[in-house]
Structures are given as structure tokens and as C-alpha cells.
Chains A and B, each alone.
Chain A
Amino acid sequence: MTSSMVLAIRFSALLNALPGNIAQGLIWGIMAIGVYMTFRILDFADLTVDGSLATGGCVCVMLIRAGLSPVLAVLAAFLVGMLCGGITGFLHTGLGIPGILASILTQIGLYSINLNILGQSNQPVAASKYKLLASLAYVNTTNTAVKVIFFAGLALAVFLLILLTYWFFGTEIGHAIRATGSNEQMAKAQGINTNAIKVLTLMISNAFVAMSGALIAQFQGAADVNMARGSIVIGLAAVIIGEVIFGKFCAKRKAAFAFTLGAVVIGAIIYFIVYAIVIWLKLPSEDMKLFSAIIVAIFLAIPHLKEKYGRKGAKANG
């Protein structure tokens, strides 16, 4: 074989892997929207997600294995996610524990709870046995109809979630959340119960995250207690990639917020495409987390560094 043939074969291997990564990106995009709600809108660094994403997956898989329909199992994961966020919210607003610490406490506690839900460190859920909503099998199948229905359905679901989120943050309650995140003193002066708003936002955010976890577990065919480890970094990476690439494009639009949410989902897809390339280049995939952490750190630092050293463009990130 000539070297160009080898390259062609290797490149087709990347192309074959891409649909799976795009599907993964779409599913993680739901999680990234949840992270956007707390991190960008409420201005709350919520690490609960590193627990609640797995809780969503664990609850969903165990319910499906118990015979519940996958749709209801995802719904159950959504509700359990709300509970997880509610716990962090209570620890923070009710007991006065600093936000990040409150979320870490929930996250650590959830690890044991997830282990108890599964009964062991992981539990499989096979697409051949259950009518799953998402599965890598739907991507790799030779049945084109299944493939198309899966991707179209997933894209539509994500699109509807973006619309729902866009609508919600345009309502009075949504405005109260944005005001609380922007200026808590002002929010209180305008009669907003900022503590209740924080709890509510954490609940909705973690519901999205847990729902995403439920789909991730179905997609990979198992729930694992470690499936959420480092997920906050993936969520943040998606948010930041989306903002950096599409920020200016979104800002000019009429429904800028809806475009931003779309950009965040695309950010998640890009993240998993990069991941596919890393694997394809046979780079050590264990280093992906370090790579992600560095990327997130750099982009989070940019606004600060601009303000400190930049003369022009300091306002660009407004």
C-alpha cells in the first residue's frame, strides 16, 4: 500500500466515527444549555452537574431495566435532576454555604447515591433489548431510515429545548433570573426573592443536565458511576467554544439569546468532533480532559486579561 492509500483509509475511519460524535455532541448540548443557565445567566459556578448528570443516567437506566418506557425514564431523570439542583440551592440559600462548596457537597453525596441506584459501578442497557431513544447502534446501523429518524428526532428535540429555554427566559420569571444573575441588589430592590430564584434556576439547570445524562447513558448503552466525572469542563468548553466562534454573529441577531443557545449546542458538537480527531490522530485520549481544562482556562482568562492589559476591545465581551 502506498502511504496515500493508508491516509485515505485512516481518513475514512474518521469520517465513519464522526456521526457518532455529532450525536454525542447534540446530546451533551442539552447539558451545556443547563450549564449556560447557571454559569452565564445566574452567574453561579454549579459543580452539581458532575453528580447530577450521572444520577440522570443511573435513574434512567435502572427504570428502563425495570420495564419503564425510555421516554418516561428520561422524564424521571429530569425530575430527579431538579431534586439534585434543589439540594444545592437549599444548601446555599437555606444554610448559607458558599455556592461552589454547596454544589461540591451535593456532587460528592450524589456519587454514593448513584452507586446505590446502580447497585454496582455500572449497569448495561442494550438497544437490542429495549426501545431506547438514543443509541450508538442507531448511528452505526446500515438501516438508513433508523439513522435518519434518530438524527432528525434528536436535532428536533434539541431545537425544541432551545425554543423552550428562549421562551422561558423571556417570561417574567426568566427576567427575574436574569436580574438576579446580573445584579442581586437591584433584583431585591425590585421585589425579587433572589433565594427562591437561585433554587429554581439550579433545579431547571440540573434537570437539563440529568436529562442529558439519561440520553448519554442510553446512547453508550450503560450507566456508569463515573460517567459524569469532569462533565462540568465539557459543558463549559461547549459554552465557551460556542461563544468564541459565534459570539459576534449571535449578538447582531434579533433573537440573540436563541442563537447563543444554538451556538452552545454547536460548541458541544465541535468539542466531540475535536475529540474524534484526537482519537483519530492516535493521541492519548486520556489527555483529553487536561486539554479541555487548559482550553477552558485560557478562554475564561481572556476577558480578564483583556481588561488588565488590553487597550482596545476591552468592551467587546459585554
Chain B
Amino acid sequence: MVFVLLAVSILVFFIFNVLPGGDPAVRMAGKQPTETGIEAIRQEWGFDEPIWVQYATTMEKVFTGDLKSYFTQLDVVNEIWKGLPRTLWLAFGAMVIWMIFSIALGLFSAVRAGRTSDKFLTVLSLIGISMPVFWIGALMNHYLGFKLGIFPNGGYVPISEGFFDWLHHMILPWTALSILFIGVYSRILRANILETMNEDFVRTARAKGLSERRVMLRHVLRNSLIPIVTLWGLDFGAVVGGGAILTETVFGLQGVGQYAADAIGQLDQPPLIAVTMFGAFMIVFFNAIVDILYARLDPRIRLESSGSM
């Protein structure tokens, strides 16, 4: 895990600071740089020094929070911290919705495999997978928010300023973000369930005289969820790490993703370095969580993987 993080940091450093494409100091200085500004940046980041010193300086800046946007003059780490609760709530809420719905739909369509209701759900999930977030999000925002006024037209209210107000603002972003995941997850889960249903131990469970409900939930679903956890770790990590750029932007949530999007728009390099690192770290972190969960879910893994972290 430590090794992965180190590799990620080196890669990020190379992408932003070393790759050819002009003077990194000029890139960093923003759209209207001044000569003195560029020179100051060059001094500060040590761009005239050997590459490992540059790397060390960059990392030091990222990890000590001494990273400032030359465009907005705002402290980068501070901005990420400010956006983080919004992003976390978005990710967490959407995750709960997409997990509940994909388990329910996946189970339902596996049990009814081949029947009309299953085919209907297949089409529905394909539609869900095909709809881009920025489009469905914009539609929801326009019709449910702007035209009908059922939901607020974007924006974010902290949970401390009223739970229902907060919930009211989050419902649309959660829904928009979940739709794609529900489509994908329910499809994969359906396939896993159908495969597990053919396992010998499921036949044993039936032979034991367990109720069909117990067979499906305790024996089939439990074993089908194991591969889903991997996917969950990747996706949830990515969303927390700012991957929900589109959802955050469409609904004006001002989370980490939108911060990244704004920084890209302004060619503002320090925030990009920080957000990229942050995102990568989140993915690595949630993968570690997945490893732990895996061991809880599947006892066969518990013995094999000792001390691989």
C-alpha cells in the first residue's frame, strides 16, 4: 500500500512538473503571469534544481499544506477540506442508494431470469448505463428543480443548518449519480447470482429444507456480493476522491470534484496536483478497506493474505 502511494506520487509529479510542454513555472503561474511572478515560483518550487529536489519540494508542499493557487490566491489544502464534507455526503448517500437498489433489482431480476420483468429491467438498466450524468442531471435540475420547483435548483446546505434542507438539496445529485451505478451493479449482481444459484452448496441448502427466502439471501446473495465489493471500493474511492466532477458541477455542490473542474478550467496547476494526489490516495485507501472487507466476507481469503498491506 505504501509502495502504491509512493508510485502514485511520483507519477503525479512527473505528469505535472516534469513532462515536456514548456516551463513548469510558466504553466503554474496562471494565465497572466508576470516575469517576477514566474521567477518567484521557479525559486519556490526549485525548478532550477535537480529533479529529486523538485520532487521533494513538491511533496513537501502537498503534505504540509503549503500549496497555494497562484490564480485565486487561496490555500489549496484548505479548499479541499472545505469541499470534502460535501463530496463525502454526496458519495455516501449515492452509495447507499445505488447499493440498495442494485441489490434489490439484481436479486429480483435473477429470480425472474428470462421472464418479461427481467427483460424489462435489462432494458431499463441499459438505459441507465447509457445516460450521461450531465444530461440526466441537467434534465432533473431543469424540470424538477427549475420548472416544477419541487427541488432546489442546485447548491448545497450543510447538514448543520437543517437536516431536511440538506436532504432536500442532496436528493437530486444522489439520484443522478446513482443511476449509472445502479445500472452497472444490478447487471453484474444478476449475473453473479445466477452463477451462484448453480453452486452445489445452494443445492445442499435447499436439501436441508431451508425456506427459499433463506436460501436466496443467506446462501446465494451472500456469496454473490463478494465480487461486488471490489467494484464498490474502486467506485466509491473514485467518487470520494473527486471523481463525481459532473454531478458536482451540474448541481453546483462545490465539492472536491467541482474544485478540480474549476482548476482545470483555469489551468490552475497547484490545485490539480493536490486533487489528483487526493483522488489517487482515496482509491488506494478504499481498496485497502476492500481487502479488509473481503477477509470478513470470505474466510478462504483470511488465511492466505496475511501481512500484504
- The answer to whether A and B belong to the same complex is no
